[in-house]
Chains A and B, each alone.
Chain A
Amino acid sequence: MAGKMRKAADFTPVMYGKKRKAADSTKDRSKSNKKPNKRNKILCGGGGSDDKRKRKTGPRLPAPLRKVLGGTKRSTDSLNDSDENISSDEANDFYEYEEPLPQEESGKNRRFDVVKNYLLDPSDPVEEDENVSSEDDDNKDDYDGVSKIEKSHGWRESSEQLIDEFEDDERHLRMLQTVSGMPSEAFEGKKKKKKNLVISEAYPESEFNPSRDVLNGNGQISIEELLEPLQGKPGYTEIRKLIREDKNSTSIQAPLPRVEREMLERKAVYEQSKKDITKWEPLVKMNREAPSLFFDEDTNLGFSTVGAIASGFEPRTEFEKKMALLVNDDKVKEAHNEDGSKLLELNKISAEEYLEDRNHIAKMRSLLFRHEMKSKRIKKIKSKTYHRLLKKDRLKSVSAEMLMDPEAAKEEARKQEFKRAEERMTLKHKNSSKWAKRILQRGLEAQDEGTRAAINEQLHQHALLTRKMNTMKDSSSSSGSDDSDEDDVDENSAGSDPDEASKLFAKAKEKTLKVLQEDDEVPTSGVLSLPFMVRGLKKRKEEAVEEAKLALQEYESSLKELQDTGGEENANVGITSGRRVFGAAKRDVPKPKPSNKMKTDNYYRNSDSEDDLDENIDVGNGMKNDLQKDVNVDSGFLNEDAEVRRDSVFKSFDDVVRDPGPKTSYDVAIFASGTWKKMKKGKRVNANIKKSTVVGKPVLQNQEELSEESDTDSEGQMVDEILSAGPKPLYELPSQEELVRLAFAGDDVEEDFGKVKQEILNEEIPEPEKPNLLPGWGQWTSVQRKKGLPSWMLEEHEIAKRKREEALKKRKDAHLKHVIISEKMDKKAEKLHTKTLPYPFTSKEVFEQSIRVPVGPEFNPSTSIGAMNQPDVVKKSGIIIKPIKFEEVNAHEKTEEHREQKRSGNNQKTNKRKGAGGKRAGVRPVVVKS
């Protein structure tokens, strides 16, 4: 019972609230409460008129005071607060003694003004209203009804005891109602029963004297009953659930012993505190995983720039003030401003004009500047070759100009003349210098090649300078003969006369001879002046000369041919061809080796710096291939149809001729260039020949047969000579095995390897030494002599052997016949390896990866260095680091993003770091800002 009472008391605040609401609200609530109201009505039927004569007991406070007190009372006492509505109800409080109702209250005589009461107690009129219009009936609370019932009962009873009993009863009922907020009807049945019993109690009801109801167990109120009126309120279900749970625990256990209780409490506390601390986990994890932590919050260090400091400057000393006065003087300022405007006024030029002018000037200036830059750049170039080329270009252009412009030519001639005169006067290059004299004195033979070349060069220079004007001109575009050559060639290419051809041949022959004669063009300086190079040069030159001779022979023969055949070609074709075949066969003899090619190239490229690169190549190839060249020339001569080809041949020829260079080189090139190209097209030549036969020239038919023969020959030649020559179906490559066998014939590789492996094994795991007998060691000499080696020695030896074998077996290459895996330790490399995998790494690969990329400033751009070399903790000395402050961290969020967000979020907290950007940027721990 007591427990229930307490519960009821607990509920009262809720009830109270509800009641207040009820009082405030009006009709809409009344509808829902219709039932109880009806009951009220029924009940009121009996004593409706009695309502005004409310019974009041106990001492009464003045109404206003009560009103004031009402608020406080309400909250403290559940029963008292109910009195608020019924102002005259205080008498029914349990603790109060009975007192007859004051007259004015009872209103017995109707002497007292009702209105007064009405005024004093705001709840009264409501009640009054209610009672008056009882049928409509609204705002009445269950509570009021109860009080009425009670009152009606109270008035009915006459005997004191009965009254007492009834009062008890009523009080109880009222309490129940207050507690439960249920209509009195709910309890009526019991009451009736009770009435029937009519047992008067001899003592007042109290905690210690439980009433019969209580003893019988009839008066018990179930919580459900108490809860009923709460239905539909917010929180109702929760309470009900709570109660249900409560119901399940039937009895209250005896309190636990203190120790145990405390233990449980501690357990709960610990769990709670654990849970609280766990919230830090993501934050801590993030900080731990961050490659570096930043604690250098930016602190305000004041002004950072000079401008910022200057802006806050105020003149203080007199001098400063004076200065400020002058600087900020209005007149000065004005004058300054006006000056500008005046200048503008003076400006008579129109804007467009001015702009145009300015643009023009700017353009000119920029052009000038560019020109200047260009010339500067060119001047800076140290390459001699380049300058030489430049000079040549200039000369060329000048000569072109001369051709075009007689005036310029004249000028040039005058200049040249002047130079010549000067040279003749001074004889500067005629070995007149001290150096040259000395060298001559010592003898030219005694000098090395370089010096001799230098002397030659000087002489050449002299010759050039002292040459007469017209000859000068010739030399500038190589020699006159060259020119005629050129012409010839052109003629040739145009008409390909046999006479012309013969002429050409003749000329070519001449050149070749010339080459042969003046072969000693010695490099003056540079690498080529080195003795071994010179030797090489000589050698090559000799070869070349030989070839040239051969070519000459061939040449002569063909020339003869030409002369022999003359005009009647048909008759002689067969002969020529026959000769040709013969010649070709003959030609086979001096085969230049393909390896020559590059050497000759080199030679020419280096030997004379005046050569063009292209030319060199031509020459190089030509040198080597002059035999083929002859053939081609022949065919070219024979095949009149193949003009196109020949054209190309001669074009290159022309080029060569035109190029001013040392005579040696292009003389050879006469043969060279054309044939070289020809050789490439060897096949096509034949095809063309065939074509020509198709056209139907009888001469060429013969020629075809023969040429086919000769061609096959020559092709075979070419295969031998140059590997890259055209495909030959008959030739089969040997298989790989055969090649290998051929290549390694005679040496047993496997055996050698085995030996090497054995050696290495012996080195790494040395064989145990054989036990050797030292007389007197280990045993007495006599015993030794008798028994030989002591057994323990043998045993030791055996063990050592066994061990070695085991070790050999354990080796990684034990089962690999063709492999040696060295297990020798490199002591120097050892210090660059760790013996075990270092702690935080989980695999070798990861570890190696971690030290793979260098971090130094030499190996990385400066933008990434900052991030790469970031220390684990970045802090500034002198800044207090506060402990961590909680901040929500999304565990799934990437640290990077988080950082970004944080930085953007609170700039004052975090310091933006330059160079920290990039991959490896850290996370700032959240730190309290002081």
Chain B
Amino acid sequence: MKVKVISRSADEFTRERSQDLQRVYHNYDPNLRPQEKAVEYVRALNAAKLEKIFARPFIGAMDGHIDAVSCMAKNPNYLKGLFSGSMDGDIRLWDIASRRTVCQYPGHQGAVRGLTVSTDGQVLVSCGVDSTVRLWNVPVATLTNSDDLSDNSVEPLATYVWKSAFWAVDHQWDGDLFATAGGQVDIWNPNRSQPVNSFQWGTDTVISVKFNPGEPNVLATSASDRSIVLYDLRMSSPARKVIMRTRTNAISWNPMEPMNFTAANEDCNCYSYDARKLEVAKCVHMGHESAVMDIDYSPTGREFVTGSYDRTIRIFQYNGGRSREIYHTKRMQRVFCVKFTCDASYVISGSDDTNLRLWKAKASEQLGVLHPRERRKHDYHEAVKNRYKHLPEIKRIVRHRHLPRPIYKAAALRRTMIDAEKRKAERRKAHSAPGSIVTVPVRKRRIIKEVE
């Protein structure tokens, strides 16, 4: 008679500390666990539900401005630093962690329209409707907290007055130059009082400008003539223009994919373009119910945030046609500017209600230090949810968002209208000679032409 005995060495199973976990050995034979798929499905479902339960994206508001926040800039070298400019000419430096103003930069007469910080995080450039460009020194971040705001007000390093009101400014990545947009596009060297280069293509006001962070000599602007223009500083010339049906309010380059940029358009959509193929958008990101005012890519390049005139913030995947997340609060008004923080974990919005708001980029993310086991658990939940996200039950839960009534209604109305249009187009096509009416794909529909 053979007696089978389970033998295990005591060394392996002895815990060093009483807090240690007991060692457990599993038999991973799938025949022993025939229910694995069902188990994982239920877990995915639970994970989806838990995600909904824990979704609390709003962290806090930063108030201090006395007029609408018009623009923001993040310090690329310091995670906690954020600059915001308002319509009354006030510029503030915020400490995101404590959500307090660190210092103010008074000086602009009229609205501040553009803010940007040099890559080393030492110089702040601001421009406004008073036709001035001001350079400011950014105080070195210290542990000492500044409670009294008046002490920290500083004088600009330089003030350059130029021809027309400015609409936007952006600093080159890892370079000296910065570009302003207004009557024309000007390229500035911070040490010179006059622009080193100016571009004008067309007569309309340029309303936004953005340098390509991957390819620092390439920049894109959008103008009020509904055009998007690409420039190349190496040849100091504009390169290409594409004209759309509606105006583009802001542009953001994908920091991980230097050929791609996304344009926030007045027609409620965002259009992702490949700078090499401008005749057709790569992706149309739909979802907003009103003009998209600002856009900013996450530093990971996998998603971007948009702020809209419909009082919501949305987060899109870089290739997603619909938004992954919608943020709104009762008190948040028209959103004029949004930014992703440099560590891709937070989103900041500035709106008409004079407040800056800090949001989590992932609504249900657990903040703070995670134990490895916790992290693994989160990862597993995410993986399982991701795996079964196509199944109807989970899909419904994951996609569900509660919306304020006006927005919900506007969305419904918009959907109706779009459907009606589509129907009409279909009928028209059905009743005309075959081939006489060609359906233009959505990605091309809003592009009028590409100008050389």
Contact A266 to B3, CB < 8 A, known contacts A831-B392, A878-B79: no
B63 is an interface residue with CB less than 8 A from chain A: no
Q: Across the interface, do B36 and A859 meet the contact criterion of CB distance under 8 Å?
A: yes
Say if the beta carbon of A884 comes within 8 Å of chain B: yes
Query: Contacts A276-B215, A389-B1, A861-B28 hold; do A266 and B452 have CB atoms under 8 A apart?
Result: yes
Interface residues on A, range: 35 or more
Within 8 Å CB of A385, what residues of B? 1
Q: Is A834 located at the chain interface by the 8 A CB criterion? A: yes
Residues A273 and B259 in contact, CB atoms below 8 Å apart: no
Cα distance A889–B109 in the bound complex, in angstroms: 50
The answer to whether B235 touches A269, judged by C-beta atoms less than 8 angstroms apart, is yes
In-complex Cβ contact of A856 among B39, B275, B391, B393 (8 A): B39
In contact, A833 and B379 (Cβ under 8 angstroms): no
| Interface residue stretch chosen among A326-334, A638-646, A681-689, A863-871 | A863-871
Any B CB within 8 A of the CB of A882? yes
Instruction: Name A residues whose Cβ lies closer than 8 Å to a Cβ of B.
Output: 262-263, 265-270, 272-274, 276-278, 280-281, 284, 287-288, 293, 295, 377, 381, 383, 385-386, 389, 613, 830-835, 838, 847, 850-851, 854-861, 865-866, 868-873, 875-886, 925, 928, 930
Using an 8 Å CB-CB cutoff, how does the interface string of B365-404 with A read, 1 for contact, 0 for none? 0010000000010011011100110111100000000000
**A263-B452, A270-B452 known; A386-B302 Cβ under 8 A:** no
Asked if B39 contacts A884 (CB within 8 A), the reply is no
Asked if B52 is at the interface of the complex by the 8 Å CB criterion, the answer is no
Q: Could you write out 18 A-B pairs with CB less than 8 Å apart?
A: A265-B235, A270-B232, A270-B240, A272-B235, A277-B218, A278-B259, A280-B257, A281-B259, A854-B36, A859-B36, A875-B300, A881-B299, A881-B342, A883-B256, A884-B256, A885-B214, A925-B256, A925-B301
Complex alpha-carbon distance, A861 and B41, angstroms:
20
Distance between Cα atoms of A856 and B392 in the complex (Å)? 21
Q: Residue on B with the closest CB to A272?
A: B235
Instruction: Write the nearest CB–CB distance from B179 to chain A, whole angstroms.
Output: 16
Residues of A within 8 A of B301 (CB): 287, 884, 925
Q: Do A871 and B382 have beta carbons less than 8 Å apart?
A: yes
Complex CA–CA separation, A554 to B234 (angstroms): 118
Least distance between B297 CB and chain A CB atoms (Å): 9
Distance of B47 from chain A, by nearest CB (Å): 11
CB of B3 within 8 A of CB of A273, answer: no
Structural contact, B235 and A284, CB atoms closer than 8 A: no
Q: Are B77 and A880 in contact (CB under 8 A)?
A: yes
Residue-wise, chain B 134-167 has the 8 Å CB interface mask toward A (1 for contact) of 0000000000000000000000000000000000
Q: Report whether A883 and B26 are in contact in the complex, using a CB–CB cutoff of 8 Å.
A: no
Interface mask (B214-238 → A, CB under 8 Å = 1, otherwise 0): 1100100000000000101011011
Task: Specify the chain A residue showing the minimal Cβ separation from B346.
Answer: A877
> B239, B256, B300: which has the most chain A beta carbons within 10 Å?
B256
Chain B residues, Cβ within 8 Å of A272: 232, 234-235
With known contacts A273-B230, A856-B36, A880–B342 Cβ distance under 8 A? yes
Contact A881-B452, Cβ < 8 Å, known A278-B259, A280-B258, A875-B345: no
Q: Is the CB of B76 within 8 A of A880?
A: yes
**Pairs A-B, 10 closest by C-beta atoms:** A881-B299, A883-B213, A883-B255, A270-B239, A838-B390, A869-B383, A880-B342, A854-B36, A869-B379, A273-B232
Q: Identify which of A270, A276, A885 gathers the most chain B CB atoms within 10 Å of its CB.
A: A270
Instruction: Pick the contact of A859: B28, B240, B256 (CB < 8 A).
Output: B28
Q: Which residue of B lies closest to A915 (CB)?
A: B376
Q: In the complex, are the beta carbons of B391 and A831 less than 8 A apart? A: yes
* A836, closest chain B residue (CB): B390
Task: Judge if B5 is at the interface, Cβ distance under 8 Å.
Answer: yes
* Given the contacts A280-B259, A831-B391, A834-B392, A860 and B28 also touching, CB distance less than 8 Å: yes
Interface string of B17-43 (1 = CB under 8 A from A): 000000000101010010011011101
Q: How many whole Å from A171's CB to the nearest CB in chain B?
A: 42
- Give the CA-CA distance A913 to B376 in the complex, in Å: 14
* Residues of chain B lying within 8 A (CB to CB) of residue A262: 237
The answer to whether B28 and A857 have CB atoms under 8 Å apart is no
Contacts A277-B259, A281-B259, A856-B380 given: A850-B393 contact, CB under 8 Å?
no
Residues of B that sit less than 8 Å from A by CB: 1, 3, 5, 26, 28, 30, 33, 36-37, 39-41, 43, 76-77, 79, 173-174, 213-215, 218, 230, 232, 234-235, 237-240, 255-259, 275-276, 299-302, 342-345, 367, 376, 379-380, 382-384, 387-388, 390-393, 452
Chain B neighbourhood of A281, CB < 8 A:
259
Contact of A265 with B237 at beta-carbon distance under 8 Å, contacts A273-B232, A856-B43, A869-B379 already known: yes
Q: What distance in Å separates the Cβ of A722 from its nearest Cβ neighbour in chain B? A: 28
Q: A882-B299, A884-B256 are in contact. Are A266 and B239 (CB under 8 A)?
A: yes
Complex-state Cα separation, A871 to B387, whole angstroms: 12
Beta-carbon nearest neighbor of B369 in chain A = A877
Known: A855-B384, A872-B302. 9 other contacts (CB 8 A): A269-B232, A269-B237, A281-B259, A287-B257, A859-B28, A871-B382, A882-B299, A884-B213, A884-B258
A residues less than 8 Å from B215 (CB atoms): 276-277, 280
The answer to whether A273 and B342 touch (CB under 8 A), given A293-B300, A855-B40, A856-B384, is no
**Residues of chain B with a CB closer than 8 A to A847's CB:** 390
Contact B30–A859 (Cβ < 8 Å): yes
Give every chain A residue within 8 A of B232 (Cβ-Cβ): 269-270, 272-273
Complex Cα–Cα for A451 and B362 (A): 70
Task: Please tell me if the beta carbons of A881 and B343 are within 8 angstroms of each other in the complex.
Answer: yes
Closest to B216 in A: A883
Do A287 and B256 contact each other (CB < 8 Å), given the known contacts A831-B393, A851-B387?
A: yes
Does the CB pair A883–B299 fall under 8 Å? yes
CB distance from A406 to the nearest CB of B (A): 34
Q: Min CB distance, B345 to chain A, in Å?
A: 4
Nearest opposing residue in chain A for B387, CB measure: A851
Which of chain A's residues has its CB closest to B394's CB? A831
Given contacts A266-B237, A877-B345, contact A858 B173 (CB under 8 A): no
| B382 and A869 contact, CB distance less than 8 A | yes
A865 to B387, CA, bound (A): 15
Residues of B within 8 A of A854 (CB): 36-37, 39-40
A891 to chain B, nearest CB (A): 15
* Residues of chain B with a CB closer than 8 A to A831's CB: 391-393
A854 vs B257: C-alpha distance when bound (angstroms) = 33
CB distance from B387 to the nearest CB of A (A): 5
**Whole-angstrom distance between the alpha carbons of A879 and B232 in the complex?**
31
Contacting pair A266 B238 (CB below 8 A): yes
A850 touches B5 (CB 8 A): no
Query: Given the complex of chains A and B, what is the CA–CA distance between A930 and B3 in angstroms?
Result: 64
Query: What's the Cα separation between A266 and B231 when bound, in Å?
Result: 9
Complex: how many Å from CA A835 to CA B395?
12
On whether the beta carbons of B1 and A868 are closer than 8 Å, the reply is: no
* B285 → chain A closest CB, angstroms: 15
Contact A381 B3 (CB under 8 A): yes
A295 and B300 in contact (CB under 8 A), knowing A277-B276, A284-B259, A865-B376? yes
Of A267, A855, A873, most buried by chain B (CB within 10 Å of CB) is A855
**Most B-side CB within 10 Å, residue of A267, A866, A871, A884:** A884
Give complex CA distance A869, B376 in Å. 8
Asked if B237 contacts A883 (CB within 8 A), the reply is no
Bound complex: CA of A262 vs CA of B229, how far in Å?
Answer: 14
Answer whether A386 and B3 are a contact pair too, CB < 8 Å, given A880-B76, A880-B79.
yes
Given A854-B40, A855-B40, A871–B379 Cβ distance below 8 Å?
Answer: yes
Chain B residues whose CB sits within 8 angstroms of the CB of A870 once the complex forms: 379, 383
A295 to B298, CA, bound (A): 12
Q: Please, how many angstroms separate the alpha-carbon atoms of A263 and B36 in the complex?
A: 64
Which of A877, A878, A928 has the largest number of chain B CB atoms within 10 A? A877
